[in-house]
Amino acid sequence: MSVVKPLPRWADLIFLPLINLCVAFFICGIVVWMIGENPFTALAVMIKGAFVYPGGLGYTLYYTTNFIFTGLAVATAFHAGLFNIGGEGQAYVGSLGILAASSMFAPFMPALLLVLLCIVGSALLGALWAMIPAYLQAKRGSHIVITTIMFNFLAFSLMGWLLAGPLIQPNQQSPQSSPLPEGAHMPKAQAVLDWFGVGIADSLLNMSFILALVALAVFWVLIWKTRLGFEIRTVGKNQDAALYAGINVSKIIIITMMVSGGFAGLLAVNEVMGAQHRVVLNYTAGYGFTGIAVALMGRNHPVGIFFASLLFGALFQGGTELDFEFTSITRDMVLLIQGMIILFSGALAYMFSPTLSRILSRGGS
Amino acid sequence: MSDMTQKTSGDSAARYVLELQNISKSFGLVQANKDIDLQIKPGTIHGIIGENGAGKSTLMNILYGLHRADTGQMMIDGAETKVKSSADALSLGIGMVHQHFMLIPRFTVLENVMLGSEGGALLNAGRVATAAKLAELGKSFDMEVDPDALVSDLNVGTRQRVEILKALKSGAKILILDEPTGVLTPQEATQLFEILHRLRESGVTILLITHKLEEIMAITDNVSIMRRGEMVGHRKTNETNPQELAELMVGRKVLLNVEKPTAKPTDVALSVRNLGCMSSGGYKILDDLSFDVRAGEILGIAGVSGNGQTPLMEVLAGMRVPDEGSFDILGKTITPKSVITPRHMRENQIGHIPEDRHKHGLVLSLEAYENMVLGFHNSDITGEKRLMDKQHMLDHCAAKMEQYDIRPRNPKLLASNFSGGNQQKIVVAREMHQNPKLLIVGEPTRGVDVGAIEFIHKELIALRDQGCAIILVSVELDEIMGLSDRILVMNKGQEVATIDGAEASAQKLGLMMAGIADEAAA
């Protein structure tokens, strides 16, 4: 019975998130002002750092790539009503797929095929790591939130042990793997664009960004265009109706989580094949957790996830610049801004909705 | 109009125990109540009738302080009053028995009745006082209940008595009953009506909310009719008739009974043999059930809800594996060992209109066109391409909306934004679209307005005449008797008896539903 007049689509999808974002930045601005710096200067430094300075945009997009993968992982699971907190662990374990594929196939495989196999390897390992909690949820009823969190710790321990032991680069002290063979490197954006005659500043941006865009498109087709996606959404919205409709709910839970883990696993492509060219300790650096905020803010839609990833990528890169320019502002400011954005576009996402609706309907009548 | 009510309100102290003037309430753009006037005389049973969504529950929630009216006045014994919470309502002597009982199953009757008047930090004083009050009320209204029984052990009729006692204990002189007979057998309903009569004689005013015409005719003194948030009429019950009330409710002429040509049953479509099912708790919910349904007939399954109808439908629809016995369905034998899913059933042209459309039949947060293919999403109504063909689905949905008169005709509207009747029509349209050979129907008209009931009943009969075998499960005896060619009565998961549809009467079925087959037959 109680129906509040819904916001127009454009206001709901664009205007409201923008308002939330502005409020978040406004509060951060107050904090910057209290520290004794000029908030507008700080904002200008961040924007310049993220988009204007040489290489700034490249680094922003490099971070964006990571957030797209982990954001997609959370969003996929969310469409089936599952909360995958395990993106961090799945992204971490994904690197094992790259190591396995590159060591197995590098000697006799041309570079392009090797890269493809490594990509498949990372997705596969991420998927398998997500499959275990999914199986436990589907068949044993263990709550996926709990199990995926636990699997993050398992992943950290497993990778820590592997990188300090069996996989450590021979005759080295630091816990990291041997470098990947050249053929398994993801081409740098600078190198590719240079080949086309376009010159850009060097950064860690690599072709994984294109892979991320492809992943966004695949996600969109999967969720909204395929019968599997229809079943995933049905399970997510009403499991009883899914059962009634003859959908195998356990199977869908397992498949969805594997797709989700696969997306998370692809983060390793950007980090290991694109940036570090080896597996280093803790390269996931919290991207998996931030993916939750990305999916939340992007409303589990590919366009939203892209822009949310871009925002978080810009924050990451601009925050580094902030740290560099001001002595009184540290990188922790980025965490504050992130926190505010998550607060306003996640927890309080609809706080301004009634007001906005009232203003719009007054304007309309 | 308003002048008249102004004048009467002056000397209404003795005339009306409760009076509402110009009550309006809206939720966003939806006007749930509009300029409602209502006058209730003390010591009467006043019925409020209207279709689902007519605004009856909103009005009662305003009375009981759960909602606040936007405008209008409320007078109790002629004095203007504001009810801001249910605590206010209770202190003003207004009690409410909700449609879904507000009892704590693991508490005893006494503990439940005591809720809200526990007394001090220790329970003993409150317990003693409540026990005394309970005994006194039980005696004076002849509705004694064992105060130490656990509510979970009581049957539905007795639970309802506990609810009434709970309201009376707080000194209610106006008692609101919201759809009280929905869960009762005809015999239990009769007992309830006797209690209501006794309450009226002792001076309690009763407001009875219902959508059942026969209850209004049977028990009320006055009746007010609501339609689309407005009061459309007030009548003295003995000066009106069901046909007039139905027309006022719907706003047009309705057929209360659908015409039904004689059935021409042919081959057996479904043959159930010694079917048994265990609950997760380990007791039998289906017990040695055997029956046949032929193509071209409707087998009605009557029973108080919770006597095995739900598991029976789930088993036949492939949603639940039976534990014993077997059934032959369109030439295939299903045993406890068969691997069967609802998808197999649909592929074999078996339709299933589930009892609970919100739980099973629809995904409320998906759009209408997506709901129109739910369960059939692997068939070609989603298009023949690898990906789902949205345009094809939209066209299919638009055609079905036209055919079944589903309003509003917007395939992109979320299922939750349709009224109950139109939601049910979406389910009906979907399950009938492949011309099923067997249709399993549960409560096809629960929470559906009178106009849609007529439509759905006609569709079921038409499908039967095309040679479909139909199993109809319903707790509405009128529906069972109006549509069924044969009626199987269930009690505690067993068949009590099967009788011819023409021989059925509410009295007879009621006794059978209570598990008494011999007396009913005699």
Residues B181-233 pLDDT 10s: 877 777 888 888 999 999 999 889 999 998 778 888 889 999 999 988 889 99
In the predicted structure, residue B9 carries a pLDDT above the cut 50: no
Residues B230, B357: one domain?
no
Q: Which domain holds residue B491?
A: 268-521
Neighbours of A81 (CB within 10 A): 19
CB-based contact, B318 to chain A, within 8 Å: yes
Q: So what's the pLDDT on residue A365? A: 44
Our CA-based measurement puts residue A2 at a distance from the nearest CA of chain B, in whole angstroms, of: 5
The label of the residue with tokens 């072709």 reads A207
Q: So what's the pLDDT on residue B223? A: 94
- CA–chain centroid gap for A77, Å, is 13
CB-based contact, B122 to chain A, within 8 Å: no
Q: Report how far residue B50's alpha carbon sits from residue B56's, in angstroms, rounded to the nearest whole number.
A: 7
CB-based contact, A361 to chain B, within 8 Å: no
Residues B223, B295: one domain?
no
With CA atoms as reference, the chain B residue closest to A6 would be B28
Q: So what's the pLDDT on residue B229? A: 85
The label of the residue with tokens 């096809």 reads B444
Q: Report how far residue B220's alpha carbon sits from residue B509's, in angstroms, rounded to the nearest whole number.
A: 25
Closest by alpha carbon to B456, among B465, B446, B466? B446
In the predicted structure, residue A236 carries a pLDDT above the cut 90: yes
pLDDT band at B451 (very low <50, low <70, confident <90, very high): confident
With CA atoms as reference, the chain B residue closest to A234 would be B363
Closest by alpha carbon to B371, among B445, B304, B298, B429? B429
Q: Which domain holds residue A153?
A: 13-31+55-353
Q: Report how far residue B2's alpha carbon sits from residue A45's, in angstroms, rounded to the nearest whole number.
A: 68
Looking up residue A219, the CATH number of its domain turns out to be 1.10.3470
Residue A308, domain member (yes or no): yes
Residues B241, B279: one domain?
no
pLDDT band at B29 (very low <50, low <70, confident <90, very high): low
In the predicted structure, residue B256 carries a pLDDT above the cut 80: no
Residue A236, domain member (yes or no): yes
Which of these three, B221, B250, B279, is where a domain ends? B250
User: Given B32, B58, B363, which is nearest A238 (Cβ)?
Assistant: B363
With CA atoms as reference, the chain B residue closest to A221 would be B387
Query: Residue B30 and residue A1: Cβ atoms within 8 Å?
Result: yes
Residues B211, B332: one domain?
no
Residues B173, B238: one domain?
yes
Task: Check: CB of residue B46 under 8 Å from CB of residue B209.
Answer: no
Residue A49, domain member (yes or no): no
CB-based contact, B339 to chain A, within 8 Å: no
Give the SS3 label for residue B46: strand
Which of these three, B250, B283, B311, is where a domain ends? B250
Residues B197, B273: one domain?
no
Our CA-based measurement puts residue B476 at a distance from the nearest CA of chain A, in whole angstroms, of: 23
Residues B330, B365: one domain?
yes
Quick one: tokens of B82?
Answer: 């504001």
In the predicted structure, residue B120 carries a pLDDT above the cut 90: no
CB-based contact, A230 to chain B, within 8 Å: yes
Q: So what's the pLDDT on residue B185? A: 75
Query: Residue B362 and residue A237: Cβ atoms within 8 Å?
Result: no
> Which pLDDT tens digit goes with each residue over A21-54?
899 999 999 999 998 889 999 999 999 999 999 8
Q: So what's the pLDDT on residue B122? A: 78
For residue B343, the chain A residues in CB contact (below 8 A) are 245-247
Average pLDDT over residues A183-198: 90
Looking up residue B75, the CATH number of its domain turns out to be 3.40.50.300
Q: What angle do CA A66, A69, A71 make, to 5 degrees?
A: 100
Q: Report how far residue A129's alpha carbon sits from residue A20's, in angstroms, rounded to the nearest whole number.
A: 35
Q: So what's the pLDDT on residue B127? A: 87
In the predicted structure, residue B316 carries a pLDDT above the cut 50: yes
Strands B230-236 and B268-278: unpaired
Q: So what's the pLDDT on residue B14? A: 55
Q: So what's the pLDDT on residue A43? A: 92
Residue A42, domain member (yes or no): no
Average pLDDT over residues B233-251: 86
Our CA-based measurement puts residue A250 at a distance from the nearest CA of chain B, in whole angstroms, of: 13
Give the SS3 label for residue B328: strand
Q: Report how far residue A329's alpha carbon sits from residue A278's, in angstroms, rounded to the nearest whole number.
A: 32
Helix residue ranges, H only, B142-274: 156-169, 186-201, 213-219, 242-250
Closest by alpha carbon to B273, among B283, B264, B286, B261? B286
Query: Residue B387 and residue A226: Cβ atoms within 8 Å?
Result: yes
Query: Residue B28 and residue A5: Cβ atoms within 8 Å?
Result: yes
Burial B292-313 (b: 16+ CB within 10 A, else e): bbbbbbbbbbbbbbebbbbbbb
pLDDT above 90 covers a percentage of chain B that reads 42
Residue B261, domain member (yes or no): no
In the predicted structure, residue B6 carries a pLDDT above the cut 90: no
Quick one: tokens of B41?
Answer: 């005389």
Residue A50, domain member (yes or no): no
Residue B263, domain member (yes or no): no
pLDDT band at A5 (very low <50, low <70, confident <90, very high): low
Our CA-based measurement puts residue B56 at a distance from the nearest CA of chain A, in whole angstroms, of: 12
CB-based contact, B408 to chain A, within 8 Å: no
Range name among A349-363, B269-283, B285-299, B375-389 with the lowest pLDDT average: A349-363
Q: What is the 3-state secondary structure (H, E, C) of A226-241?
A: CHHHHHHHHHHHCHHH
pLDDT band at B521 (very low <50, low <70, confident <90, very high): low
For residue B345, the chain A residues in CB contact (below 8 A) are 246
In the predicted structure, residue B8 carries a pLDDT above the cut 60: no
How many distinct structural domains can be found in chain A? Answer: 1
**How many Cβ contacts (< 8 angstroms) between chains A and B?**
82
Q: Report how far residue A355's alpha carbon sits from residue A332's, in angstroms, rounded to the nearest whole number.
A: 33
Query: Residue B53 and residue A227: Cβ atoms within 8 Å?
Result: no
Average pLDDT over residues B256-275: 87
User: Given A1, A227, A241, which is nearest B382 (Cβ)?
Assistant: A227
Average pLDDT, chain B: 87
Average pLDDT over residues A181-208: 91
Our CA-based measurement puts residue B376 at a distance from the nearest CA of chain A, in whole angstroms, of: 8
Name residues whose C-beta falls within 8 Å of residue A191's C-beta, 6 or more positions apart in sequence: none
B504-B510-B512-B517 Cα dihedral, nearest 10 degrees? -80
Residue B87, domain member (yes or no): yes
Query: Residue A241 and residue B417: Cβ atoms within 8 Å?
Result: no
pLDDT band at B249 (very low <50, low <70, confident <90, very high): confident
Our CA-based measurement puts residue A221 at a distance from the nearest CA of chain B, in whole angstroms, of: 8
Query: Residue B375 and residue A244: Cβ atoms within 8 Å?
Result: yes
In the predicted structure, residue A241 carries a pLDDT above the cut 90: yes
Q: So what's the pLDDT on residue B509? A: 86
Residues B331, B232: one domain?
no
CB-based contact, B363 to chain A, within 8 Å: yes
For residue B66, the chain A residues in CB contact (below 8 A) are none
Helix residue ranges, H only, B331-469: 342-347, 368-371, 390-403, 420-432, 450-465
User: Given B27, B344, B364, which is nearest A3 (Cβ)?
Assistant: B27
Task: Check: CB of residue B153 under 8 Å from CB of residue B170.
Answer: no
Q: So what's the pLDDT on residue A33? A: 92
> Which pLDDT tens digit goes with each residue over B57-107?
889 889 988 888 889 999 988 888 888 888 888 888 899 988 778 889 899
Interface of B with A in 412-471 (CB under 8 A): 417
Task: Check: CB of residue B302 under 8 Å from CB of residue B480.
Answer: yes
For residue B382, the chain A residues in CB contact (below 8 A) are 227, 230
CB-based contact, B321 to chain A, within 8 Å: no
Average pLDDT over residues A150-163: 96
Query: Residue B29 and residue A246: Cβ atoms within 8 Å?
Result: no
For residue A221, the chain B residues in CB contact (below 8 A) are 387
With CA atoms as reference, the chain B residue closest to A248 would be B341
In the predicted structure, residue B2 carries a pLDDT above the cut 70: no
Average pLDDT over residues B306-311: 87
Residues B389, B298: one domain?
yes
For residue B362, the chain A residues in CB contact (below 8 A) are 238, 241
Residue A273, domain member (yes or no): yes
Average pLDDT, chain A: 91
Residue predicted with more confidence, A148 or B306: A148
Residues B235, B197: one domain?
yes
User: Given B352, B359, B417, which is nearest A240 (Cβ)?
Assistant: B359
Interface of B with A in 26-65 (CB under 8 A): 27-30, 32, 53, 58
Q: Report how far residue A330's alpha carbon sits from residue A308's, in angstroms, rounded to the nearest whole number.
A: 23
Residue A77, domain member (yes or no): yes
Which of these three, B189, B216, B250, is where a domain ends? B250
First to last CA, chain B: 56
Task: Check: CB of residue A98 under 8 Å from CB of residue A268.
Answer: yes
DSSP A203-233: -S-BTHHHHHHHHHHHHHHHHHHSHHHHHHH
Range name among A4-13, A127-136, B277-286, B384-393 with the lowest pLDDT average: A4-13
Residue predicted with more confidence, A11 or A288: A288
How many distinct structural domains can be found in chain B? Answer: 2
Average pLDDT over residues B454-471: 94
Q: So what's the pLDDT on residue B254? A: 65
Residue predicted with more confidence, B3 or B459: B459
pLDDT band at B459 (very low <50, low <70, confident <90, very high): very high
Residue B493, domain member (yes or no): yes
Interface of A with B in 198-227 (CB under 8 A): 221, 225-227
**Mean pLDDT: which of A346-355, B130-139, B277-286 is highest?**
B130-139
User: Given B352, B363, B378, which is nearest A227 (Cβ)?
Assistant: B378
For residue A3, the chain B residues in CB contact (below 8 A) are 27-30, 417
Our CA-based measurement puts residue A237 at a distance from the nearest CA of chain B, in whole angstroms, of: 7
In the predicted structure, residue B11 carries a pLDDT above the cut 50: no
Residue A5, domain member (yes or no): no
pLDDT band at A363 (very low <50, low <70, confident <90, very high): low
First to last CA, chain A: 23
